Structure 1
Amino acid sequence: MPGMPLSSQLPENSSETIVSADAQAEQFRQLQFQLRERWQTIEHSEEGDCDILVVPSLSLDQQELRKIKGVHHYEERLLFSLIRLRHPKTRLIYITSQPIHQNVIDYYLQLLPGVPFSHARDRLVLLCTYDASHKPLTQKILERPRLVARLQNAIRRDRAYMTCFNSTNLERDLSVKLGVPLLAVDPDLLHWGTKSGSREIFQEAGIPFPDGSDLVWDEDDLAAAAADLWERQPHLKRIVVKLNEGFSGGGNALLDLRPLERVAPGSPSSTRERVDAIFHRFHSLSFQCDTNWENYSSQIPGLGAIVEAFIEGSEKRSPSVQGRITPHGEVEILSTHDQILGGPDGQVFLGCRFPADDAYRLQLQEYGFRVGEVLARKGAIERYGLDFIAVHQPDNPDQPWDLQAIEINLRKGGTTHPFMTLKLLTYGVYDEKTGLFFSQQGKPKFYIATDNLYSKQYHGLLPRDLMDIIAQHHLHFNSTTETGTVFHLIGCLSEFGKLGVTSIGNSPEEAQAIYDRVIAALDEETA
């Protein structure tokens, strides 16, 4: 259905289904209301007497997901949730598409300070669908009624909630079927997390963002939108084309306008000639992943697309801010990061550093809070993140960095698991006055994290091999000093030579040194 994200579409069917969908939506709202009633107990109880169902499904466009190496192992990124078993009455049910290696589970449980391993393991239920197909995990669960029944039997519904990577109609369906509230945004609000929806929120919140277009659904309109943008901004050298529901920069492509100087605004060429020249130039777009225009353009009728001015600058960074809206509508700032980007044009997320530079950290928080208030008024809850482009302005001492917002993520992201790992391991707090995170001992903590520590030499390393390397080189997280490295995406290592790490230190320099030591140890052991 044009004009509606794929994740929100309903099948074309009878009015009976529509009535059923309305009834389901009402059931979902009632469950969310229960979540508000339980929130104080869930969030602030020291004993944590609740059941947490973790469904780490990547319910995103599967064609885009296939571009990520080892993406079926990304269901492991929410394993930081196991650290919640530090609360003696918390029970956790974690479900995946394929079984997780026992060494990986043991690794996380051994991170728990002061909790007997066996006690934590008894409160953990691991389930899986044994299905490696390219479908969202939540869809696989819904297709297995006996597994759904097993989940229903495993959960104490009066004190349970469900958490996920991102929320769609699939997660809402599972929430209603299980009778368990979902701690995530209502799928009816997902438009505000798309590229076009983000721009609307930025406008309403009054924060700066690049000039761009409304949502379009075919190549002709995309070329016309790019031409309009160029005429408004004749100084532009490049334009970014974005799939409306792209993620991690993988749906972005770069249109270089400089070879089209003969039809540039101000030349004798007509608007029609400019549109035609841009249309033919689409075949020369610079993509952020392994694709071509034919494959990319085939997704536009389903996902929609926008164009946006590419922000130039000799010194650019990509900071972000993360926030949370509680079920009571309260907005909290959680963290800021400087993102580490890669890809052909530096638009693909590879990792992050915490916290963001102090030159713009507090400004990020202010913009993040404004956006959070707008989202809260629209009924959104749980996590959201804002990505920015920061350009250095050496001639402006009052505002040395220009911040431009580029997108909102209404889901967990690449900065969620490293920050939550730090928070759950140290029992620390984020201080909004400084934008720093302090441990219980009052020490500021810093980290560098990535999902993409890769080397072809790492291929073939088994989880047990990694544990040997960690022990031999003393790379593990030390709960006494609260420094060291926590590993994730361990399942990716053998097949793809890829690993995730979060290296935590008491200064940015120490975090970097710990990270470098991990790489040196892995390289030495695989040389």
Structure 2
Amino acid sequence: MIPQPPFADTLTLEEELRRFEELKPRLNQVWDVLMRTADQPGTSVVVPSLTLDQDELRKLDGATFYEERLLFLLIRLRNPRAHVVYVTSQPVHPLILDYYLHLLAGVPASHARARLTMLCTYDASPRALTQKVLERPRLIERIREAIPDASRAYLTVFNSTPLERKLSVLLGIPLNGLDPKLNYLGTKSGSRKVFREAGVELPQGFEDLTGEADVEDALVELAQRSPGLRRAVVKLNDSFSGEGNAIFRYPEQTDDRQAIRKALRSLEFAVPWETHHNYFQKFTRMGGIVEEFIDAAIKVSPSAQLRTSPAGEVLPTSTHDQILGGPSGQVYQGCSFPAHEDYRMAIQHRSILIGQVLAKQDVVSRFGVDFLAYKDTPEDKWKLTALEINLRVLGTTHPFLALQFLTGGTLDPGSGEFVSLSSRPKYYMATDNLRASTYRGVLPEDLIDIVTDNGLHYSHRTESGVLFHLIGALSEYGKLGLTVIASSREEVQELYARTLDVLARETGIGHA
């Protein structure tokens, strides 16, 4: 395999930007294939790189195995004329591929496998996969060679940065994701500005802060604007899964700047390993916001997921109730689908307004909007406030892809509910954070045996069961992801509890 130009090292920024703009219109030409509305030929090149701040990436145990989450995009192979090229840092265990392909409804696994090309960098270092690919011109050439028709191909990524833009240009295919020049709109500061333009409720606060002095000034001003406020939240602009959030507790004298400065030294971070010095180093580099912490007796964290098309359409895809944890209760742990009926359509409506603002800015991307729903008594109506926009593939993306992957059903935009091809309503709960010391050493083969022997395997007959992901991280890190699908919330809860019991019993064998 002899690499052909263009090469990453010789591509000028001016040429890169020009070619990237030239590729954009081609995404519209393959949109019907991308949205699975037509069985036309097309190739999806999936590079599921977590192109995030490197300090944040190092904190994520088994980060390279998160690349497996988008294996649900093998749903594209349900189209008998589609091809998928899937690139990872390390080889994906063959059994994991078989696991997904044999669950793909409507097409023989052998036929789908023949249209799938798996490539990898053989590089487990804690760096962005896209960076690894760009360093390997021969691998780039192999990706090009695996695309039958570049005019009917597109690049799918986890999030978009200049690295993904460069890879798009080198491959000569459009990026199915955000133009990196619009990344600001998905920061905490950019989100607040979009909410205001959309006319959507947001917490009192301040954005575009650049350091600790700005944070101190914002906390002083916020206390003056909101008498009686006891807590505020400090957020990094580009944090991941809530890990860049910190809780500030006001002193008794909220008009005493010195007391506020002292209290700022006691921020409560979302993760136990964070330090004041390191946090504000990142804050100075990234920027961030300060906003009021909303206190209420009853609080939940729903979210809505949508995408904007090249034609400027705003397309709702799902709603979820997020499961949050960590010391401050702000770290994403998992989700349940759909969001509660009491506020499901309200957050979808507000998210469409937000999507319209993004579409006017030429955003073409999956995106999610996180909300806070709160009230003081069970009888009260829910109040809603928008918290942030995530312009990328989300933690809620892959479980919804799993539901589509398995059932072939669709979302009813009028109710926000999902209906399978057999007209059954479907519900699920999903997590990326199932962990236990006894999971360490469990091989993919062992997991498949456990699932099969205990009847947890997904059944196309009942359209219920458990689908696992992050399987590659299981043996080394004792970490696993799953999506539990059933026909009611109660069935989901029962199956989820049973799954945890089975895993605890089976993986506990041989341990003291």
Give me the TM-score of the superposition, normalised by structure 1: 0.92
Choose 184-193 or 46-55, whichever is displaced more: 46-55
Task: Tell me the SS of whatever aligns to 1:370.
Answer: helix
Task: Tell me the SS of whatever aligns to 1:339.
Answer: strand
Q: Distance in 2 between matches of 1:45 and 1:88?
A: 13
2:122 is aligned with what amino acid? Y
**Structure 2 match to 1:300:** 283
Q: Distance in 1 between matches of 2:41 and 2:451?
A: 33
**Structure 2 match to 1:264:** 254
Contact 1:83 1:108 in 2 (8 A): no
**Structure 2 match to 1:369:** 352
Q: Distance in 2 between matches of 1:42 and 1:69?
A: 31
Equivalent residues in 2 for 1:156-171, closer than 5 Å: 156-171=149-164
TM-aligned CA distance change 1:319 to 1:186, over 3 Å: same
Equivalent residues in 2 for 1:108-507, closer than 5 Å: 108-155=100-147, 156-257=149-250, 260-261=251-252, 263-265=253-255, 269=256, 274=257, 276-289=258-271, 290-394=273-377, 397=380, 400-507=381-488
Q: Distance in 2 between matches of 1:23 and 1:71?
A: 32
State the 1:134 CA deviation: 2.2
Contact 2:47 2:86 in 1 (8 A): yes
Task: Tell me the SS of whatever aligns to 1:254.
Answer: strand
Choose 38-47 or 408-417, whichever is displaced more: 38-47
State the 1:116 CA deviation: 2.1
TM-aligned CA distance change 1:41 to 1:465, over 3 Å: closer
Task: Tell me the SS of whatever aligns to 2:39.
Answer: coil
Q: Distance in 2 between matches of 1:44 and 1:494?
A: 35
> Are positions 1:70 and 2:65 aligned together?
no
1:187 is aligned with what amino acid? P
State the 1:393 CA deviation: 4.2
2:156 is aligned with what amino acid? T
Q: Distance in 1 between matches of 2:236 and 2:138?
A: 37
Q: Distance in 1 between matches of 2:450 and 2:418?
A: 29
State the 1:444 CA deviation: 0.8
1:264 is aligned with what amino acid? T
**Structure 1 match to 2:6:** none
TM-aligned CA distance change 1:508 to 1:395, over 3 Å: closer
Task: Tell me the SS of whatever aligns to 1:213.
Answer: strand
User: Deviations for 1:207-258, whole angstroms, at most 9, x for unmatched residues?
Assistant: 001011121222112111111111111211111110111120000011111x
> Are positions 1:40 and 2:32 aligned together?
yes
Q: Distance in 2 between matches of 1:99 and 1:191?
A: 34
**Structure 2 match to 1:55:** 47
State the 1:46 CA deviation: 4.4
Q: Distance in 1 between matches of 2:451 and 2:97?
A: 15
Choose 42-51 or 204-213, whichever is displaced more: 42-51
State the 1:21 CA deviation: 2.5
> Are positions 1:107 and 2:99 aligned together?
yes
State the 1:396 CA deviation: 6.8
State the 1:317 CA deviation: 0.3
Contact 2:177 2:365 in 1 (8 A): yes
Q: Distance in 2 between matches of 1:395 and 1:438?
A: 30
State the 1:23 CA deviation: 3.2
1:150 is aligned with what amino acid? R
Aligned residue pairs, count: 497
Identity of aligned residues (%): 49
Q: Distance in 1 between matches of 2:243 and 2:44?
A: 31
Q: Distance in 2 between matches of 1:32 and 1:235?
A: 50
State the 1:41 CA deviation: 4.3
Which ranges in structure 2 are unaligned for 5 or more consecutive residues? 1-9
Q: Alignment partner for residue 517 of structure 1, among 456, 480, 498? A: 498
Task: Tell me the SS of whatever aligns to 1:503.
Answer: strand
Choose 225-234 or 309-318, whichever is displaced more: 225-234
Q: Distance in 2 between matches of 1:462 and 1:387?
A: 36
User: Deviations for 1:399-428, whole angstroms, at most 9, x for unmatched residues?
Assistant: x11111000000011100001110122111
Task: Tell me the SS of whatever aligns to 1:112.
Answer: coil
Contact 1:223 1:278 in 2 (8 A): yes
Q: Distance in 1 between matches of 2:196 and 2:458?
A: 43
Contact 1:219 1:279 in 2 (8 A): no
Task: Tell me the SS of whatever aligns to 1:99.
Answer: coil
Q: Distance in 2 between matches of 1:27 and 1:393?
A: 54
**Structure 1 match to 2:3:** none
Task: Tell me the SS of whatever aligns to 1:225.
Answer: helix
Contact 2:220 2:254 in 1 (8 A): no
State the 1:48 CA deviation: 4.3
User: Deviations for 1:301-328, whole angstroms, at most 9, x for unmatched residues?
Assistant: 2111211111111111000001111111
Q: Distance in 2 between matches of 1:349 and 1:213?
A: 23
State the 1:112 CA deviation: 1.3
Q: Distance in 1 between matches of 2:353 and 2:230?
A: 31
State the 1:44 CA deviation: 4.3
**Structure 2 match to 1:9:** none
User: Deviations for 1:466-510, whole angstroms, at most 9, x for unmatched residues?
Assistant: 011011011111112111111001111112211100000100111
Choose 239-248 or 111-120, whichever is displaced more: 111-120
Q: Distance in 2 between matches of 1:441 and 1:519?
A: 28
Contact 1:83 1:112 in 2 (8 A): yes
Indicate the RMSD between aligned Cα atoms, in angstroms. Answer: 1.5
Contact 1:77 1:489 in 2 (8 A): yes
TM-aligned CA distance change 1:34 to 1:46, over 3 Å: closer
User: Deviations for 1:349-374, whole angstroms, at most 9, x for unmatched residues?
Assistant: 00001000100011011001000000
State the 1:38 CA deviation: 2.6
Task: Tell me the SS of whatever aligns to 1:403.
Answer: strand
Contact 2:104 2:405 in 1 (8 A): no
Task: Tell me the SS of whatever aligns to 2:482.
Answer: strand
Q: Distance in 1 between matches of 2:207 and 2:507?
A: 50
Q: Distance in 1 between matches of 2:307 and 2:447?
A: 34
Task: Tell me the SS of whatever aligns to 1:366.
Answer: helix
**Structure 2 match to 1:13:** none
**Structure 1 match to 2:7:** none
Q: Distance in 1 between matches of 2:284 and 2:233?
A: 18
State the 1:191 CA deviation: 0.4
Task: Tell me the SS of whatever aligns to 1:215.
Answer: strand
